């Protein structure tokens, strides 16, 4: 599961892009410029499934953004998967953000949990507990535990996760994808220091969300 290279257009989007392009091409042959709206749809599909390479910041104990989007929550919360209090940071993705999900830290996958649920607006706080979601528990080399949760949204109907227990992830490595609008919650050990605030726009891998306890500045 190398971080890069992989296609700059996510493989999850190839069937959608092929279908949209073929439909627009047929419509062009039959109806000429009346097919323009279908080409706009194909262009939207192309931009939605883009998956550009990102620079991985260097530093000790860094927690990287697992997704592109806007920070909608920074604060204390209960990590239901590890049964502990945690620092929670949530990133909301709209349909114009890159939807490839990247590992926030380097570590080993200790567990993966899938929870069926609703499809509420992912911008709402209760989406974290009520919506369909997939959680990955990562343990870093220094023994810190981080939980990264992919949460489905109002339009998102498909959470894709490509890792299982025992897999090793590097910081910023691609591990999943959510189709058509959603959010990702990151639960960090108590004492972690957030480096973003609500409303901040972040980029997967290249934005530092927080530092883990004990990390040297």
Shared domain for 25 and 120, answered yes or no, is no
Q: How high is the pLDDT of residue 137?
A: 98
What does the alpha-carbon distance between residue 54 and residue 143 come to, in Å, rounded to a whole number?
26
Task: Return the H-helix or E-strand segment holding 92.
Answer: strand 84-93
Task: List the domain range (segments joined by +) for residue 174.
Answer: 62-201
Count of helices and strands (H, E) across the chain: 3, 14
- What's the CATH number where 117 sits? 2.70.70
Task: Verify that 42 and 113 share a domain, yes or no.
Answer: no
Same domain? 32 vs 108: no
**Alpha carbon of 45 to those of 38, 95, 99, 102, 122: distances in Å?**
11, 10, 12, 21, 21
Q: Are residues 22 and 129 in the same domain?
A: no
Q: How many domains does the chain have?
A: 2
- Asked if 37 and 85 sit in the same domain, the reply is no
Q: Looking at the structure, do residues 148 and 193 belong to the same domain, yes or no? A: yes
State the catalytic residue, choosing from 90, 103, 182, 192: 182
Buried b (16+ CB within 10 A) or exposed e, 35-61: beebbeebeebeebbebeebebeeeeb
Regarding whether 112 and 171 lie in a shared domain, the answer is yes
In angstroms, the CA 150 to CA 148 distance is 7
Distance separating alpha carbons of residues 24 and 45, to the nearest angstrom: 12
Clarify whether 182 is annotated catalytic: yes
- Written as tens digits, the pLDDT of the chain (217 aa) is 445 556 777 777 788 888 888 998 988 888 888 888 898 988 887 877 788 888 899 888 999 999 999 999 999 999 999 999 999 999 998 878 888 899 999 999 999 999 875 555 545 555 555 668 899 999 999 999 999 999 876 655 578 899 999 999 999 999 998 876 688 999 999 999 999 999 999 999 999 999 999 766 6
Report the alpha-carbon distance of residue 35 to residue 40 in Å, rounded.
Answer: 9
Q: Is 166 inside any structural domain?
A: yes
Say yes or no: 35 and 77 in one domain. no
Point out which residues pair with 137 in neighbouring strands: 111, 147
Q: pTM of the predicted model, to two decimals?
A: 0.83
Residue 24 three-state SS? helix
55 within domain boundaries: no
DSSP 8-state assignment for residue 55: P
- 34: exposed, middle or buried (Cβ count in 10 Å: 0-12, 13-18, 19+): exposed
Q: Are residues 139 and 171 in the same domain?
A: yes
| Residues 43 and 69 both lie in one domain | no
53, part of any domain: no
Please spell the DSSP secondary structure of 153-198, one letter per residue: -SS--EEEE---TT-EE-TT-EEEEEESSEEEEEEE-TT-EE---T
* 87 found inside a domain: yes
Q: Are residues 85 and 128 in the same domain?
A: yes
In a domain, 139, yes or no: yes
Instruction: Please return the burial class of 130, using the count of CB atoms within 10 Å of its CB with bins 0-12, 13-18 and 19+.
Output: middle
d(CA 54, CA 68): 11
Residue 54 lies in a domain: no
Examine the domain organization and report whether 90 and 29 are in the same domain: no
> Is residue 173 situated within a structural domain?
yes
Looking at residue 122, its pLDDT comes to 47
């Amino acid at each position: 599961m190398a971080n890069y290279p992989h296609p700059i257009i996510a493989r999850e989007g190839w069937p959608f892009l092929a279908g949209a392009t073929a439909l627009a091409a047929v419509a062009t042959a039959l109806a000429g410029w009346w097919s323009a709206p279908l080409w706009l749809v194909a262009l939207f599909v192309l931009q939605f499934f883009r998956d550009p390479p990102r620079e991985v910041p260097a530093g000790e104990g860094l927690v990287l953004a697992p997704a592109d989007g806007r920070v909608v929550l920074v604060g204390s919360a209960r990590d239901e998967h590890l049964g502990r209090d945690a620092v929670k940071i949530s990133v909301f993705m709209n349909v114009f953000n890159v939807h490839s999900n990247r590992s926030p830290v380097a570590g080993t996958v200790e567990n993966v949990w899938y929870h069926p649920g609703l499809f509420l607006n992912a911008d709402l706080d209760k989406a974290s507990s009520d919506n369909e979601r997939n959680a990955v528990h990562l343990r870093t080399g220094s023994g810190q535990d981080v939980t990264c949760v992919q949460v489905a949204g109002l339009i998102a109907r498909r959470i894709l996760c490509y890792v299982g227990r025992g897999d090793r992830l590097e910081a910023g490595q691609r591990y999943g994808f959510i189709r058509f609008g959603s959010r990702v919650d990151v639960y960090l050990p108590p004492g972690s220091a957030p480096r973003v605030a609500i409303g901040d726009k972040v980029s997967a891998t290249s934005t530092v969300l927080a530092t883990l306890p004990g990390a040297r500045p």
